[in-house]
Structure 1
């Protein structure tokens, strides 16, 4: 299942309230996220307001479209929009998605399925 990572910038003067709001997300919002394909969803906040989100989903566009069809998402996004800097779209549409460049388990799995390689040829200094 594809992994998605994104960033947003939380206003420094609103960081404490942003954290407080996410300590008790509305149950209806939690269920909607899960039911529309947002799995293993986490948010991380750095002291300068950089917000990093991570989730696993079969299809990000479909997960976003599913949330867009819910009333709870419209209410949540309207309330959260004021927490972000330089955002012209609702937060769930205006984030910067990052490209994945490394994943340990993928590379380990590739090693496990790769044919065994020939041992390296002896170097001249190793010959008798």
Structure 2
């Protein structure tokens, strides 16, 4: 199943966001793969600083539902200074509804 969601980047942090994701921690990447998450892309709408995540999911959880793991909690804390977050440092995430798909 393919899912999509949006998050919010704080203004002026595009380059920092890209740098941090270019150096994603190997153990985080492995956790995502082990959870069945693949083909994961994040897009940025620079006018609104809205991030759009799209991922293929073969397991029961999306990347946003892995917040009980230590590695994800550490990643969220690492990213909290450049993103809008909830009190537990998880990113403010809004699921998106698919309204069209073409293969």
Q: Same fold (TM over 0.5)?
A: yes
Higher strand share: 2
Give, in angstroms, the shift of residue 19 of structure 1.
1.1
1:96 aligns with 2:94: yes
Q: How does 1:58-77 map to 2 (within 5 A)?
A: 58-59=58-59, 62-64=61-63, 67-77=66-76
CA distance in 2, matches of 1:12, 1:66: 26
1:81 aligns with 2:103: no
Partner residue, 2:43: 44
Cα 1:69–1:6 change in 2 (3 A) is same
Cα 1:104–1:20 change in 2 (3 A) is same
Higher helix share: 1
Gaps in structure 2 of 5+ consecutive residues: none
Q: How does 1:1-128 map to 2 (within 5 A)?
A: 2-48=1-47, 49-59=49-59, 62-64=61-63, 67-85=66-84, 87-88=85-86, 90-91=90-91, 94-105=92-103
CA distance in 2, matches of 1:50, 1:9: 5
Q: Alpha carbon RMSD of aligned pairs, Å? A: 2.1
TM-score (norm 2): 0.82
**Greater relative contact order (CA < 8 Å, ≥ 6 in sequence):** 2
Give, in angstroms, the shift of residue 14 of structure 1.
1.9
How many residues align structurally?
100
Give, in angstroms, the shift of residue 50 of structure 1.
1.5
Gaps in structure 1 of 5+ consecutive residues: 106-128
Larger Rg: 1
TM-score (norm 1): 0.68
